[in-house]
């Protein structure tokens, strides 16, 4: 269930700077707060007293503000202009974009800048975005294959097929045939987060579910996987080109 799916007749708690929709359900035994697309909702057991709901929201006030701030920074209205000086992340570091005019050449990371050459006939924003996308995909293919080669022996598995793909709502996939597929946008995240996504999919070659046994295997390889998982959950919407 997403926040947008909440009941129309839910209660509302007004806080400083935001409102919280209170969704009651008989299917829950504990309360959960969600912040999605700038909407705050708390899903609680049907019989939970309103006083307890207020206490829960108050206790998570700072966390809610931080989530709302992340959403505000990531809104499309603050979109890129694809001009020199803009910052684009790669493996956890921000690199400045350098746009130059000239004959078409491959986009490169040179002297700490991602350099895109735009021909005179092209629309700069569209051309730069397309060139950046190709550059990220090319580097994602190289880096992720390197990480798969590194971690598969540690996990104790082998895979013959690695693909870089466009995914709308996932960072990786392990097919029933044992092929691994990765969202190229993950290379915008810090290096350790990319490691986590690679390990996550490699461990699915041992366990094709998210059972306790599966997570124990992930933890064996990456003891800090919980921090990586949380970072990705909190920052996924910022990984855009």
State the 10-residue block means of pLDDT for the chain, 241 residues long.
35 81 83 80 88 89 80 56 94 94 90 92 87 96 97 93 90 91 96 97 94 96 95 90 92
Pair 23, 98 in one domain:
no
| Matching residue, tokens 């044992």 | 178
Beta carbons within 8 Å of 46's beta carbon, 6+ residues apart? 24, 25, 26
The range of the structural domain enclosing residue 215 comes to: 87-238
Same-domain pairing of 128 and 229: yes
pLDDT given for residue 23 in this prediction = 86
Residues 141, 45 share a domain? no
| Residue 77: per-residue pLDDT | 38
pLDDT value for 113 = 95
Pairing of strands 87-90, 113-118: unpaired
Same-domain pairing of 69 and 114 = no
23 and 137 share one domain? no
All residues at 6 or more sequence positions from 139 whose CB lies less than 8 Å from its CB, including other chains: 90, 187
Final residue before a domain boundary, out of 47, 76, 105:
76
Claim to verify: residue 96 and residue 70 sit in the same structural domain: no
SS3 61: helix
Q: How many domains does the chain have?
A: 2
Residue 148 near residue 164 (C-beta atoms within 8 A): no
Q: Which long-range contacts (CB under 8 A, 24 or more apart) does 152-159 make?
A: 152/202, 154/221, 155/199, 155/202, 155/203, 155/205, 155/206, 155/217, 155/221, 156/206, 157/202, 157/205, 157/206, 159/202, 159/205
- Domain boundary (46, 76, 106) is at 76
CATH of the domain at 104: 3.30.2010.10
């Amino acid at each position: 269930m997403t926040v947008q799916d909440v009941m129309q007749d839910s209660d509302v708690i007004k806080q400083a700077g935001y409102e919280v929709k209170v969704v009651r359900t008989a299917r829950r035994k504990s309360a959960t707060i969600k912040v999605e697309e700038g909407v705050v909702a708390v899903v609680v057991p049907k019989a939970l007293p309103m006083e307890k709901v207020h206490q829960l929201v108050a206790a998570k006030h700072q966390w809610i503000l931080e989530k709302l701030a992340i959403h505000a920074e990531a809104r499309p209205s603050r979109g890129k202009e694809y001009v020199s000086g803009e910052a684009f992340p790669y493996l956890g570091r921000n690199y400045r974009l350098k746009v130059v005019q000239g004959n078409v050449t491959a986009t490169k990371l040179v002297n700490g800048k991602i350099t895109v050459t735009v021909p005179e006939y092209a629309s700069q924003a569209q051309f730069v975005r397309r060139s950046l996308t190709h550059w990220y995909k090319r580097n994602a293919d190289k880096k992720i294959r390197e990480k798969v080669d590194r971690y598969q022996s540690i996990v104790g598995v082998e895979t013959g097929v690695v693909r870089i793909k466009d995914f709308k709502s996932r960072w990786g996939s392990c097919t029933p045939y044992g092929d691994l597929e990765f969202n190229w946008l993950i290379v915008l995240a810090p290096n350790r987060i990319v490691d986590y996504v690679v390990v996550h999919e490699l461990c699915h070659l041992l366990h094709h579910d998210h059972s306790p046994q599966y997570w124990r295997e992930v933890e064996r390889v990456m003891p800090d996987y919980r921090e990586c998982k949380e970072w990705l959950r909190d920052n996924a919407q910022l990984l855009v080109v």
